[in-house]
Copies of this chain bind each other. A is one copy, B any other.
Amino acid sequence: MVLIDRPEAANYSLPEITNRVILGNALEVLKKIPAEAVDTVFLDPPYFLQLPKKELRRWTVNTVVEGVDDDWDKFGSFEEYDEFICRILTEVKRVMKPQATIWVIATYHSIFRIGKIMQDMGYWILNDVIWAKTNPMPNWLGVRFTNATETLIWAVKDRRAKKYTFNKELAREFGIGKVAANIWVLPICNGSERLKDGNGKKLHSTQKPIELLRRIILTSTREGDVVLDPMAGVGTTGYVAQALNRNFIMIEINPKYIEGIMRRFQQPLQLTLPSA
């Protein structure tokens, strides 16, 4: 894995950034990428959780839930959040090929805002896909339903885009029942897959599971395609793309996460390609 750290760069050529991770702010880096360059986008933005200041304590073991308290999830208001989302989606749209598709993931905290903004920008939603978690954290005060799902929006740039990639047979394997249903049941990322920092704590608050990206890439890309992840975190997208013979471009602003990516790629992921 090669890191690109040239903040002074004017523009990037596609070859020089393919299968690379670029250190920098997605909004600025994206502007330097050629138009209509990528086949698929996976976007995992901050969810703007607005967690209460009050700590949530497990009374039986007297420990505190370490919720998402990262600076990258802090916004002053919905308006501020909306503007951020809108700017990212504008830059992303420019670098998408005409037939490219985009995946965006979030929870109820923000997925509705994102979806409406996408529609208003002209993106055409193909599906919502529900990630049903087998092991969510329960709501133990019993004041709400346990939030066991995240929602993915799968869309094209424009209503007129038709010949996008969809591997129906693989989609049938992943969904529930015999139809290619829009529900994926899989566990959250934990155990040895979860990257840790020097103190054994999780390196990233919200690392996405390999299996989730495997399903996204297999259903919506072909071998040799270029997958873009503008907010790569610890790089699950590129890690899985490489294992499935896809190309990738990742952008990440946090050196701590970049370090995790570099460490991860030293042991390439092994995945069997479907015979089809």
Q: Chain A: residues with CB nearer than 8 A to chain B?
A: 73, 75, 78, 107-109, 111-120, 125-130, 132, 134, 136, 138-139, 142-149, 151, 153-154, 159, 166, 168, 171, 175-177, 179-183
CB of B128 within 8 A of CB of A148, answer no
Counted per complex, copies of this chain come to 2
Which residues of chain B come closer than 8 Å to A78, judged between CB atoms?
119-120
Cα(A108)–Cα(B176), bound, Å: 19
CB of A153 within 8 A of CB of B108, answer yes
Cα(A151)–Cα(B128), bound, Å: 10
CB of B136 within 8 A of CB of A108, answer no
Indicate which residue in B112, B138, B179 contacts A146 across the interface (CB closer than 8 Å): B179
Given A166-B143, A180-B139, decide whether A128 and B115 contact each other with a Cβ distance below 8 A.
Answer: no
CB of A145 within 8 A of CB of B130, answer no
Indicate which residue in B113, B115, B132 contacts A176 across the interface (CB closer than 8 Å): B132
CB of A127 within 8 A of CB of B144, answer yes
Min CB distance, A105 to chain B, in Å? 14
Which residues of chain B come closer than 8 Å to A120, judged between CB atoms?
75, 78
Closest to A126 in B: B144
Closest to A185 in B: B176
Min CB distance, A188 to chain B, in Å? 13
Which residues of chain B come closer than 8 Å to A183, judged between CB atoms?
130, 132, 148-149
A-B contact pairs, 28 of them (CB 8 A): A73-B159, A78-B119, A78-B120, A108-B125, A108-B127, A108-B128, A112-B112, A112-B118, A112-B125, A115-B115, A115-B116, A127-B144, A127-B145, A128-B151, A130-B130, A130-B132, A132-B183, A136-B179, A143-B166, A144-B166, A145-B154, A145-B180, A145-B181, A146-B175, A148-B177, A148-B181, A148-B182, A148-B183
